[in-house]
């Protein structure tokens, strides 16, 4: 009976705590606005700000411009300095006019202490053409598809031959590490709220560089790398093993990641910085991972066991990525498109390190006695 009474008191305490938390959360009203708005040059748009609850008095919402790609933000976009949220209303709209290509970021502030508008911002981007924006998006999905499919020819080649002879194990080890690092970076920036908020504070005028397709691609690539390694474990491998040089590089990379983890746990660096360090690992891996495979092909004077389909699809994806960059550069104006590329697309150009390999692969493919597909 004593245990039953204790359980009842514990249940009442939990219910009281839950009631307090609910009332505390409901005591604050939140503002909501579109995070990013893209407009075509000389066009107009209607923007709506909403609140999670009503007020019995009117509320002034100020639009404070914190960043403009041009000295005078009004030369990029015309927008009001403040809007009035009427009493008993949950939304208010205002009109904006795009004057010239550029970017403007505004944060919302209000005169009501019960209204939580912290970190609510609207990022306006004015482009030359919405059609070019759509074309750029389509190209982005095409190269994403090309990069994703590029992993399958090698897996099929291994399965058909029941052998991984010709597939360099240093490449496998480095590639796995690279996509682990890339996945950690993407997952953190896409799914972890504290890291996303940290990115916003560090880059108040940018947008999150990680999209859903980035997360899918990195996880998909990681799984295919695991498939490669599984095939290497069960198929004929001709005495191949990971070289001491590759093991040394991997040791350096993972030691760097481990030390960075300890620093993040000790709050000597932020978790956002920790993710950036993982992106540096991915960068380093991408720059060197094909060198062992290319050297092995040259030494063997053959690409048997190494799928040319992987190279061609990878090269196609990289070429389309560069094309998308060119379109973005024009559509957003060159002087600030470089900032856009640095923040949102800093890893896209990495695939172009494959170009030096393509000529070697095609040349050596002619000497191979077996088709790679």
Q: What is the pLDDT of residues 140-196, one digit of tens each?
A: 889 889 988 999 999 999 999 999 999 999 999 999 999 999 999 999 999 998 888
159 and 291 fall within a common domain: yes
115 plus 243 within the same structural domain: no
Residue 17 lies in a domain: no
**What's the pLDDT tens digit per position in 96-154?**
999 999 889 898 888 776 665 556 889 899 999 999 989 988 888 898 899 889 999 99
15 occurs within a structural domain: no
Q: What is the pLDDT of residue 28?
A: 63
For residue 116, the model assigns a pLDDT of 57
Contact 126, 41 (CB under 8 A): yes
Is 303 inside any structural domain? Answer: yes
Domain CATH number, residue 95 = 2.60.40.10
Q: Quick one: pLDDT at residue 338?
A: 44
**Nearest CA to 156 among 213, 219, 235, 241?**
235
Q: What is the pLDDT of residues 184-234, one digit of tens each?
A: 999 999 999 888 878 877 765 556 778 787 888 899 999 999 999 999 999
pLDDT above 90: residue 346 = no
Domain closes at, from 127, 157, 180: 127
Domain carrying residue 37: 29-127
pTM over 0.75: no
Do 320 and 173 belong to one domain? yes
Domain co-membership, 233 together with 188: yes
State the total domains in the chain. Answer: 2
HSE-CB of 43 using CA atoms within 13 angstroms = 15
98 and 164 housed in the same domain: no
Burial (CB < 10 A; 0-12, 13-18, 19+), residue 65, is middle
Instruction: Say if residues 217 and 144 touch (Cβ distance below 8 Å).
Output: yes
Confidence of residue 10 (pLDDT cuts 50, 70, 90): low
Q: What length is written for the chain?
A: 373
The string of pLDDT tens digits covering residues 38-65 is: 999 999 999 999 988 887 888 899 999 9
Note the pLDDT of residue 84: 92
pLDDT at position 119: 67
Residues 71 and 207 in one domain: no
Asked whether residue 183 is domain-assigned, the answer is yes
Taking the mean position of all CA atoms in its chain, how far away is CA 232? 30
> Which pLDDT does position 51 carry in this prediction?
87
* Domain's final residue, options 74, 109, 127: 127
Question: Does 191 lie in the same domain as 111?
Answer: no
Please state whether beta strands 82-85 and 59-68 pair in parallel, antiparallel, or not at all (unpaired).
Answer: antiparallel
Query: What per-residue confidence (pLDDT) applies to 172?
Result: 95
Quote the pLDDT of residue 18: 53
**Separation of alpha carbons 111 and 213, rounded Å:** 40
- Is 173 in the same domain as 271? yes
Angle between helix 244-265 and 169-191 (nearest 10)? 20
Same domain, 201 and 249: yes
Per-residue pLDDT at 327: 86
Residue 270: how many CB atoms within 10 A of its CB? 17
Tell me the pLDDT tens digit for each residue of 308-342.
Answer: 888 788 888 878 878 887 887 888 875 444 444 44
> Could you tell me the pLDDT band of residue 368, with boundaries at 50, 70 and 90?
very low
| Pair 90, 153 in one domain | no
Residues 6+ away with beta carbon under 8 Å from 182: 218, 221, 222, 278, 279, 282, 347
Query: In the predicted model, is pLDDT for residue 359 greater than 50?
Result: no
Q: Of 78-92, 265-279, 289-303, 316-330, which range is least confident? A: 316-330
Residue 22 lies in a domain: no
Residue 145 in tokens: 């598809």
Q: How confident is the model at residue 343, as a pLDDT? A: 40
Q: Are residues 123 and 134 located together in one domain of the fold?
A: no
Q: What is the per-residue pLDDT for 366?
A: 46
153 and 288 share one domain: yes
| Least reliable range by pLDDT among 5-19, 70-84, 220-234, 350-364 | 350-364
User: Is 75 among the domain residues?
Assistant: yes
pLDDT of 24 higher than 50: no
């Amino acid at each position: 009976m004593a245990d039953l009474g204790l359980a009842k008191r514990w249940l009442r305490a939990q219910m009281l705590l839950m009631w307090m938390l609910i009332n505390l959360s409901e005591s604050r009203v939140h503002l909501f606005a579109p995070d990013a708005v893209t407009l075509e040059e000389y066009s107009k748009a209607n923007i709506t700000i909403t609140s999670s609850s009503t007020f019995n008095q009117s509320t002034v919402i100020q639009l404070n411009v914190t960043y403009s790609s041009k000295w005078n933000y009004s030369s990029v976009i015309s927008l009001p300095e403040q809007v009035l949220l009427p009493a008993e209303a949950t939304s208010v709209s205002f009109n904006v006019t795009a004057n010239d290509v550029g970017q403007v970021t505004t944060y919302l502030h209000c005169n009501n202490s019960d209204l939580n508008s912290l970190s609510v911002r609207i990022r306006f981007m004015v482009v030359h053409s919405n059609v070019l924006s759509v074309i750029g998006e389509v190209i982005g999905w095409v190269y994403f598809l090309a990069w994703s499919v590029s992993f399958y020819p090698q897996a099929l080649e291994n399965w058909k031959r029941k052998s991984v002879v010709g597939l360099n194990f240093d490449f496998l080890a480095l590639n796995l590490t690279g996509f682990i690092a890339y996945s950690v970076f993407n997952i953190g920036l896409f799914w972890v709220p504290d890291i996303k908020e940290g990115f916003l504070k560090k880059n108040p005028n940018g947008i999150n560089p990680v999209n859903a397709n980035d997360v899918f691609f990195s996880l998909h690539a990681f799984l295919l790398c695991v498939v490669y390694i599984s095939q290497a474990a069960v198929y004929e491998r001709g005495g191949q093993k990971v070289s001491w040089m590759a093991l040394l590089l991997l040791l350096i990379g993972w030691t760097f990641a481990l030390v960075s983890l300890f620093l993040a746990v000790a709050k000597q660096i932020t978790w956002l910085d920790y993710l950036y360090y993982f992106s540096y690992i991915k960068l380093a891996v991408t720059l060197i991972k094909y060198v062992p495979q290319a050297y092995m092909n040259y030494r063997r004077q053959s690409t048997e066991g190494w799928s040319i389909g992987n190279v061609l699809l990878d090269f196609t994806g990289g070429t389309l990525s560069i094309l998308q960059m060119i379109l973005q550069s024009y559509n957003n104006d060159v002087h600030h498109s470089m900032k856009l590329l640095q923040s949102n697309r800093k890893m896209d150009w990495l695939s172009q390190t494959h170009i030096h390999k393509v000529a070697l692969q095609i040349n050596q493919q002619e000497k191979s006695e077996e088709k790679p597909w």
